[in-house]
Structure 1
């Protein structure tokens, strides 16, 4: 298994890098997804020193070039795609410091970049990557509790309400920074992460099945029963692991384990009949926009939990999904190994988002079995 996984990782990682554009510092001009692609490179580099040696220019290139190519004059549609705004929309939009670094109009978008730069810091030790993550965190922190229901809003528009994802990212970024700054700064980030986790639990985003729904009803300030997207189940695991490492409090791992078990237990609503992770768009084979990237976030963060509290159930889940990707979701084209969006098959045309998501799962499986 390990030998096959190493080969699969090398091939999948090579394919992802074929889409990297050094002129833009991005992969096919994906923005928030580009942060997740950089996170995949971070995790692959931490497993394989050869990857770090081959792709060691990626961090600096992205750091310097990506901010010049972010979609500040675009808006997100409901399906997650960015579309050009009219000049009037651009003029009227409330934008704060969006011309600076990786700060964005959407708090989840900039938060993904904070996580990516924390991973780059772990690989390189370069202070500027820590500084970038800290700058993003302060921008997120400035909006904390602005919505009537509390928490962090989705974006910087007036009246924007809280969703699960940006609040989970905020928890993980804060706790991760607490583990990487000096003792004189630690509690700034740790206290904020703990406060956000308390809010997250009290608002009821974790449902009775121990799965996380996506949104909060702004009239009732309660869980509104949105879909349980796979990435929502993932980011919180990484945040709780970072909180555990910052405090030594096992209760964070207990709650993370509840969520991880709810996703990976046979018969879970998050799995198909073969134990493969699915979002609703996988069941209808209609994934597009943001949904193409969602699934990889779960194994990426389950890997963190598995490292501190190993579970045979989680290990088996990762192995099963990785094997399915390589058996049912692979196409060898033009000398490259491409992975599509449907991990249980059939293979559909790959793009950087699908490739990166599959790579996340392959990395997590190898880490769990090594």
Structure 2
């Protein structure tokens, strides 16, 4: 008699990512002032239709919303880019079309410009629209001249912000008193993806010289000039800062950059993880005892998702040692599983602020839910789906 097959069924990460995409777009997505051809994500759910005008404007949350939709659009493309392949059903716009409407909504909400006071915000949008343009070209629906105008405008901003002050790097804001990893790393990645390798490498070299913590193997926050004209370093380490540095190191390539990428992944595993309390026995990553830490609500609600986006690139990069790639993949799938296991399921998945805690605790019934935290879980699930 043949013994029963006790192998657990494979996790359908694309299906889970689609559920997250539907939940976020249906709960948070809306037109700007009911205008056709526009889309924006509300800061909070539930909210009224005027929220996007009266609440604080989170430009960079919307930029990551674009990136999430591009992730979903790439999976639609892999399934044939037909109406039947759409994450939200054949009667709805594709993820790519929704992302394009979101970019339109961002411009209108940002007073008809893509320029704002923070260079890191603009860098995130530049990266997202590069990916959106690539998706549009592959689906034979090019973004006309709009994406080119965005990149021309934002490139001028990055040129202005990437100066020799403090020895290099990119300013964080128009105040021009602080250069940091959150701005320098995504600008370096943008340069690398637009065939400006020398500029990208100079920014990475500055990060390595000024903001890399040798003892921990991670990048600290930033640096400024004090009253005495000396460079003072802000030593806080954030999860998301490691992500775009990884992306830039991989995009530029070369032996030193790839070795540094491997170092960062190992350091993330050692220093930026927590016990996987939300993972139940029998789930896919139950051999792993830790998952990526999360950094709360507000802007911090995006941090772990951003890190996972770039860990996924590392997990798929054959230039890295297999052990390093496996570590990156395990961190993603374990964290994704924890978010999934801990979700609330009333009215579609609603995800926790922290992967290691159930959503019923961090977002009990009746609580206002922030867009950033739901984008984060969606990003992590998309990262897991990309590994398959």
TM-score range, shorter chain: 0.7 to 0.9
| Aligned partner of 1:305 among 314, 319, 323 | 314
Q: Which runs of 5+ in 1 are unaligned?
A: 71-98, 179-188, 282-286
- Aligned match of 2:181: 164
CA distance in 2, matches of 1:154, 1:55: 31
Does 2:254 align with 1:216? no
CA distance in 1, matches of 2:102, 2:333: 31
CA distance in 2, matches of 1:256, 1:134: 29
Does 2:125 align with 1:113? yes
Does 2:356 align with 1:344? yes
Cα pair 1:9 1:362 within 8 Å, conserved: yes
CA shift digits 1:207-251 (9 cap, x unpaired): 42111111214244254322x11100111111122212xxxx233
Comparing 359-368 with 309-318, greater Cα deviation is found at 309-318
| Aligned partner of 1:233 among 233, 239, 242 | 242
Mark the structure with the bigger radius of gyration: 2
CA distance in 2, matches of 1:191, 1:135: 20
CA distance in 1, matches of 2:86, 2:135: 11
CA distance in 1, matches of 2:235, 2:96: 43
| TM superposition shift of 1:206 | 3.8
Cα 1:360–1:113 shift into 2, 3 Å: same
Cα 1:303–1:134 shift into 2, 3 Å: farther
- Aligned match of 2:102: 62
RMSD: 2.1
| TM superposition shift of 1:366 | 2.0
Matched pairs, number: 314
CA distance in 2, matches of 1:214, 1:148: 14
Q: Give the TM-score normalised by the residue count of structure 1.
A: 0.79
Does 2:94 align with 1:38? no
Cα 1:51–1:243 shift into 2, 3 Å: farther
| TM superposition shift of 1:340 | 2.3
Does 2:208 align with 1:201? yes
CA distance in 2, matches of 1:340, 1:119: 28
| TM superposition shift of 1:355 | 1.2
- Aligned match of 1:152: 170
| Aligned partner of 2:21 among 13, 21, 34 | 13
Alignment of 1:276-295 (within 5 A): 276-279=291-294, 281=295, 287-295=296-304
| TM superposition shift of 1:100 | 5.6
Cα pair 1:25 1:65 within 8 Å, conserved: yes
| Aligned partner of 1:314 among 311, 328, 334 | 328
